Amino acid sequence: VGALARVVGVFAAQSLNLSTIESFLDHRNVESSGWNYSFLIQVEAHHAESRLAAALKELEQLTNSVKVVGGFCDKSIKWTAK
């Protein structure tokens, strides 16, 4: 199973919807360390949701790094932390 499938599986296990997935090949290290990808993922979840925290914690165990670059609010959605 590939890296993208493992990453998507983490969010699926927490019943989190993904609205965007973009993958980027890290061309700097292809020759020395093989194929390294970065993923930019937009998740439909409030930052305080425990299931999002659980998914991010699991991703930290599966990947070289996890960075949360920000969040935005869709005012048409009423968020409730679970």
pLDDT band at 81 (very low <50, low <70, confident <90, very high): low
Instruction: Report the pLDDT value the prediction gives residue 15, as an integer from 0 to 100.
Output: 95
**Other CB atoms closer than 10 Å to residue 12's CB: what's the count?**
13
pLDDT tens digits, residue range 21-55? 888 877 766 566 667 778 888 898 888 889 999 99
pLDDT band at 69 (very low <50, low <70, confident <90, very high): confident
Instruction: Report the pLDDT value the prediction gives residue 30, as an integer from 0 to 100.
Output: 56
Output the CA torsion 46→8→67→23 (10° steps).
-120
Instruction: Output the six-digit token pair for 61.
Output: 């165990």
Instruction: Report the pLDDT value the prediction gives residue 68, as an integer from 0 to 100.
Output: 84
pTM of the entire structure? 0.74
